[in-house]
Amino acid sequence: MIKIFVLAFATALLAAPALAQQAPAPPASPPKTYDMRDDAAPWINDPNVHAFYQATVEAFAHGPDHVDREAFLKRSREIFTAFAAAHGMPTDQLLNHVKAIPDEVLVWAARDPHTLASYDNFVVALFGPQKSGPGARP
């Protein structure tokens, strides 16, 4: 889960005495949390996750020995940035949260080429088996 830390502003300590008499600001609302344990369908059906699958397929187009890792990492970052924007998530925090995923996907796909044989297989590798929809396992 993404955790958001609220930073205190040092300039408040230097503010004029008149500012110190103002009512305190209401506390920041708690951050929205995201959980895929119950239903990952909205994530799985997201166009950005499909784009991540397609980027992975394209990265492996010439075989695992010819993957341009840096280009794949760059494309993954672009996709995850778009994903964060589409869902109103803090981009930096999402990127930090998912930073290991592209390298993990490269390892999975190199070990088991069937990972990229279909979107369903990719979903199982990325999210685990699903109860229904893409990646569903009986």
Cα dist from 32 to 28, 77, 101, whole Å: 12, 22, 22
What percent of the chain clears pLDDT 70, i.e. is strictly above it?
67
pLDDT of the residue at 12 = 30
pLDDT of the residue at 92 = 95
Please write the tens of the pLDDT for every residue from 16-45: 334 345 555 555 655 555 544 556 788 889
Tell me the three state secondary structure of residue 30. Answer: coil
Tell me the three state secondary structure of residue 78. Answer: helix
Fill in the amino acid letter for 59: A
Per-residue burial over 17-45, b if 16 or more Cβ lie within 10 Å, else e, is eeeeeeeeeeeeeeeeeeeeeeebbebbe
| Residue 136 bridge partners (DSSP) | 130
Per-position pLDDT tens, the chain of length 138: 222 222 222 223 233 334 345 555 555 655 555 544 556 788 889 999 999 999 999 999 999 999 999 999 999 999 999 999 999 999 999 999 999 999 999 999 999 989 999 999 999 998 888 776 666 665
Mean predicted lDDT score pLDDT of the chain: 77
pLDDT of the residue at 31 = 54
Give the chain's largest Cα–Cα span: 67
d(CA 114, CA 14) in angstroms, rounded, equals 60
pLDDT of the residue at 25 = 54
